[in-house]
Structure 1
Amino acid sequence: MKIIVPATSANLGAGFDSIGLAVNLYLTIEVLEKAEAWRIDHDLGVNIPTDEKNLLLTTLSAVLAQKKQHLSAKYHLKMSSDIPLARGLGSSSSVIVAGIELANQLAQLGLSDEEKLALACQIEGHPDNVAPALYGNLVIASSATKEVRAIKAKLPQCKLLAFVPDKELKTVASRQVLPETLSYAQAVAASAVANVLVASLLSGDLVTAGQMMKEDLFHEKYRSALVPELAAFREIGQTYGAYGTYLSGAGPTLMMLAPEEKITLLLQHLSEKNWQGCFYELEIDSKGLQVEKSLL
């Protein structure tokens, strides 16, 4: 059996903790054989556990405990990923989604997509990354109440251009710079920007969506000091034809939505900056979570 989960790019500016987009970088989990103890083969670095401490297996255990199920067998697994770690592309969320599906398959739980999303939100804390990882495409979701609600949508044809800095930026550190509260007036203003962002995304107006991305009042202005490339990245995007630019998730990855015919020009000007990191030309993943040779 093989489980495949896409990377995700969250927030899209003002859609803080609720909007996400699936992109074509992938985590793959393969179930190889039964074993005496859980073992995960991977080449993701010495800091990623290869036993029950791995996030994949702690997620599996959490799901089984909630569903009051037990596995009699343990397995030898293989984990591979081309999603950069701790860079704002949903690397942890992809593992959580994979762990939920691994439990679903091995314990024959028969979980619906809605149940998987609810479990993922319980573990992750919010839906902006886990929802598109499950569903693919663009997802607007809320887990503010007991029930998780998600709206799935497709964007018009476009490409994505990501700059992934060499440095990591942990979500915890990125959240520490955010204010604990906003005034009523600030909250109303920030919500108005987010409302127009959502409306423009759902109507396919990427030009207006891009304008709303840069007007975010929830998080980017507080996090910009942690990602010094953001201002220049946005200026180049505006000058050379991108629809919009935003800080992907908690950062430090920077993302552009652009017409396909503008990507080469944008990449040319961005490359002149000699920033320390990598550029990725990406596409929207339309499938979300995939299972090959399902056990269900």
Structure 2
Amino acid sequence: MNSLKIRLPATSANLGPGFDALGLGMALYLTIEARVAGDRTAPEFRVDATGRNPELCSSLERNLILDTYRGVAPSAPPLHLTLDNEIPLGMGCGSSAAALLAGVHLANHFGGLGWTPQQVLEEACHREGHPDNVAACFYGGMTVSSVIQENGSGGKVIATTCGEVLGWKLLLALPTASLATEKARALLPEGYSRADAVANVQATALLVAGFALDRPELLHVAMRDRIHQPYRLAACPLLGSLLPLSGTPGVYGVALSGAGPSVLLVCDPAYPQEQIEDRIRLAAGDPGLEIISTKISAGVKTLVLSE
């Protein structure tokens, strides 16, 4: 069976006010080349990993790519994966969405499922539980997504994207400690006031317009949130330190990346990056803070390789 090469981008979901609705593809990639395991008499799964967190990525236990692959196509053959990872794990950068989507793509190819791209997307979204991360990984750019329940099914995913060609710079500020998505979700209240809901609807509409119309000056207001970020400040202290940088020279907007604890800054590509990074580290009180420079990315790419 032909091998498959997949490149999946990192994502920043819950973008500003767009909780469970907006996600941004980022040019940090999980790249996988997969083929059927070589020993045909007793084939076993194998993962060779390079890049960030290679020891975790190469583990066969609690491996989300392999668990998804086996769950979607139980009769599909064991695989040998050669993997290079640029996506920080447990930092709100969409590593789980990329792994889920990779597992479904692999199951579709090696399991001979014959699924359409829409079916691949929906299977990964249903497994993630919400569409914003997976849809942004799938389509790239700034992706708007929703799940429409129909006839008791898992739900139809509706998604569209814009802003892929924008030249805005993205800076990711990464604290040392990770944060589990389940813990971050547990911090949120069961309900919100009408004022908070209306404020987020308004900001979300403005944020979509900012990306669609290349209006970066809107982001300082459009990336404000009253639904999830205020409740995650204690678990994501870096956010409170960096939010005041929004609207300052060179910085269009600031938001929690995904469920945190990383913070995303959307910046002017013409402004000296070193100066912005110095202000980030000064505001954080951490001269050694890791900052990753990247840009908006296209979506997942797959390539069938003949053997």
Q: TM-score normalized by structure 1?
A: 0.89
Hey, what does 1:290 align to over in structure 2? 301
- In structure 2, distance between residues paired with 1:188 and 1:234: 21
**Aligned pair in 2 of structure 1 residues 259, 186: CA closer, same or farther (>3 Å)?**
closer
Structure 1 position 10 matched with structure 2 position 13: yes
Q: 1:218 aligned to 208, 218, 227, which one?
A: 227
- Indicate the SS of the match to 1:37: coil
Amino acid at match of 1:222: Y
Amino acid at match of 2:228: H
Structure 1 position 40 matched with structure 2 position 47: yes
Hey, what does 1:60 align to over in structure 2? 69
Structure 1 position 235 matched with structure 2 position 247: no
Structure 1 position 191 matched with structure 2 position 194: no
Q: CA deviation at 1:267?
A: 1.3
Q: Is the 8 A contact 1:237 1:266 kept in 2?
A: no
Amino acid at match of 1:285: S
- In structure 2, distance between residues paired with 1:15 and 1:81: 27
Q: CA deviation at 1:165?
A: 0.9
Q: Runs of 5+ in structure 1 lacking a partner?
A: none
- Indicate the SS of the match to 1:28: strand
Q: CA deviation at 1:3?
A: 1.5
Structure 1 position 20 matched with structure 2 position 3: no
Hey, what does 1:163 align to over in structure 2? 173
- Indicate the SS of the match to 1:260: coil
Deviations 1:86-118 (A, max 9, x none): 000001111011111111221233332211111
Q: Is the 8 A contact 1:105 1:294 kept in 2?
A: no
Q: 1:254 aligned to 258, 263, 274, which one?
A: 263
Deviations 1:244-266 (A, max 9, x none): 01000000111111111223321
Q: Is the 8 A contact 1:42 1:50 kept in 2?
A: no
Hey, what does 1:173 align to over in structure 2? 183
- In structure 2, distance between residues paired with 1:51 and 1:232: 38
Q: Runs of 5+ in structure 2 lacking a partner?
A: 150-154
- In structure 2, distance between residues paired with 1:74 and 1:227: 39
Q: Is the 8 A contact 2:48 2:58 kept in 1?
A: no
Hey, what does 1:149 align to over in structure 2? 158
State the Cα RMSD in Å.
Answer: 2.1
Structure 1 position 104 matched with structure 2 position 114: no
- In structure 2, distance between residues paired with 1:16 and 1:144: 16
- In structure 1, distance between residues paired with 2:70 and 2:295: 33
Amino acid at match of 2:296: I
- In structure 2, distance between residues paired with 1:196 and 1:139: 14
Hey, what does 2:152 align to over in structure 1? none
- In structure 2, distance between residues paired with 1:80 and 1:74: 19
- In structure 1, distance between residues paired with 2:204 and 2:83: 36
Amino acid at match of 1:212: A
- Indicate the SS of the match to 1:150: strand
- Indicate the SS of the match to 1:244: strand
Q: CA deviation at 1:292?
A: 2.9
- In structure 2, distance between residues paired with 1:241 and 1:267: 11
- Indicate the SS of the match to 1:16: coil
